[in-house]
């Protein structure tokens, strides 16, 4: 079983960003938490500040080598029609995650353009949002 974990812009700066929203963990800490929590799963991690890199990763996931996608699109969540459109063509479980509660922040963050093409969204549980997202993806896989 292989799960693709995608992270969008500025998530490479976790640990340096506002801890009240994003917590103190770095992206590397979160990746270690994930691999340590699910040793039976293979993970492919990609963080990019470039929309095209994320779209290419989504398109590559269509080859049948990836079983599920868990993604934190960062700021692209609220604006990327291109990521949304790539996601619509991906027929595997797809779960969007956010460290902060996007509904308790600025009004523009409440809209998830990308979320419309995902199976669900988990928001507001810090690094545990990723673990909850993986659990949701595994449950969706077990339903197949």
Nearest to 70 by CA among 18, 23, 139: 139
Residue 43's domain comprises: 2-143
Q: 95 pairs with which residues across the strands?
A: 70, 120
The CATH number covering residue 77 comes to: 3.40.50.9100
| pLDDT attached to residue 67 | 98
Name the domain count of the chain: 1
Q: Residue 129: is it exposed, middle or buried by C-beta count within 10 angstroms (0-12/13-18/19+)?
A: buried
Q: Could you list the active site residues?
A: 22, 98
Which segments in the chain show pLDDT lower than 70? 17, 19-23, 103-106, 108-110, 144
Per residue in 76-106, pLDDT (tens digit) is 888 799 999 999 999 999 999 999 888 656 6
Q: What is the pTM of this model?
A: 0.91
């Amino acid at each position: 079983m292989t799960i693709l974990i995608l992270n969008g812009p500025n998530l490479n700066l976790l640990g340096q960003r506002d801890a009240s929203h994003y917590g103190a963990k770095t992206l590397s800490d979160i990746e270690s938490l994930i691999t340590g929590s699910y040793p039976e799963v293979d993970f492919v991690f990609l963080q990019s500040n470039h929309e095209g890199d994320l779209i290419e990763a989504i398109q590559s996931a269509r080859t049948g080598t990836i079983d599920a996608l868990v993604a934190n699109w960062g700021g692209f969540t609220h604006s990327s029609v291109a990521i949304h459109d790539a996601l619509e063509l991906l027929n595997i479980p797809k779960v969007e995650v956010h460290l902060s509660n996007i509904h308790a922040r600025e009004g523009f963050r409440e809209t998830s353009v990308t979320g419309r093409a995902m199976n669900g969204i988990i928001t507001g549980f810090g690094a545990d949002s990723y673990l909850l997202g993986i659990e949701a993806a595994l449950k969706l896989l077990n339903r197949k």
